[in-house]
Amino acid sequence: MKTQKILILGSTGSIGQQTLDIVRSQPDRLSVYAITGRSSWKLLADQINEFRPAYAAISDSSHYHDLKSAVSHEDTKILAGDEAILELSGHPEVDTVVNSLVGFSGFQPTVRALSFHKKVALANKESLVVGGELLKPYLNGNYDRLIPIDSEHSAILQCLTGERPEDIAELIITASGGPFRTWTRQQLESVTVKDALNHPNWDMGSKITVDSATMMNKGLELIEAHWLFGLPIDHITAVVHPQSIIHSMVLFHDGSMKAQLGLPDMRLPIQYALSYPERWKLSSKTIDWSVVREFNFEPVDTERFPCYDLAVEAIRDGGYAPAVLNASNEIAVERFLKEEIPYIRISEIVANCLSQIRPTDSLTLDSLKAVDHEARLKAQAL
- Give me the residues that bind Mg ion (CB under 5 A), please: 150-152
Q: State the greatest distance between any 2 C-alpha atoms of the chain, in Å, as a whole number.
A: 62
Burial classification of residue 5, based on how many CB atoms lie within 10 Å of its CB (0-12 exposed, 13-18 middle, 19 or more buried): middle
For Mg ion, the closer CB: 108 or 151: 151
Do 124 and 111 meet the contact criterion of CB atoms below 8 Å apart?
no
Q: Cβ of residue 150: shortest distance to Mg ion, in angstroms? A: 4
Q: Cβ of residue 75: shortest distance to Mg ion, in angstroms? A: 36
Q: Is the peptide bond before 277 cis (omega within 30 degrees of 0)?
A: yes
For Mg ion, the closer CB: 90 or 179: 179
Q: Cβ of residue 153: shortest distance to Mg ion, in angstroms? A: 7
At 351, which amino acid appears?
A
For Mg ion, the closer CB: 131 or 178: 178
- Measured CA to CA, the distance from residue 286 to residue 282 in angstroms comes to 10
For Mg ion, the closer CB: 150 or 372: 150
Q: Cβ of residue 177: shortest distance to Mg ion, in angstroms? A: 13
For Mg ion, the closer CB: 150 or 374: 150
- Measured CA to CA, the distance from residue 63 to residue 194 in angstroms comes to 28
For Mg ion, the closer CB: 245 or 382: 245
How long, in residues, is the chain?
A: 382
For Mg ion, the closer CB: 46 or 265: 265
Q: Cβ of residue 43: shortest distance to Mg ion, in angstroms? A: 24
Q: Cβ of residue 281: shortest distance to Mg ion, in angstroms? A: 24
Q: Cβ of residue 218: shortest distance to Mg ion, in angstroms? A: 8
Residues 294, 299, 302: CA angle, nearest 5 degrees: 140
Q: Cβ of residue 140: shortest distance to Mg ion, in angstroms? A: 23
For Mg ion, the closer CB: 201 or 380: 201
Q: Cβ of residue 155: shortest distance to Mg ion, in angstroms? A: 9
Query: CA torsion, points 11, 13, 19, 24, in degrees to nearest 10?
Result: 70
- Measured CA to CA, the distance from residue 92 to residue 97 in angstroms comes to 12
Q: What's phi and psi for 347, nearest 5 deg?
A: -70, -35
* Minimal CB distance residue for Mg ion: 150
Structural Rg of the chain based on CA atoms: 20
Sheet arrangement for strand 236-240: 236-240, 168-175, 246-252, 257-261
Which residues on adjacent β-strands are paired with residue 34?
7, 55
For Mg ion, the closer CB: 208 or 379: 208
Residues whose CB is less than 8 angstroms from the CB of residue 207 and which lie 6 or more positions away in sequence, other chains included: 102, 103, 330, 333, 334
For Mg ion, the closer CB: 199 or 378: 199
Residues whose CB is less than 8 angstroms from the CB of residue 312 and which lie 6 or more positions away in sequence, other chains included: 219, 222, 233
At 52, which amino acid appears?
R
Q: Cβ of residue 319: shortest distance to Mg ion, in angstroms? A: 25
Do 277 and 158 meet the contact criterion of CB atoms below 8 Å apart?
no
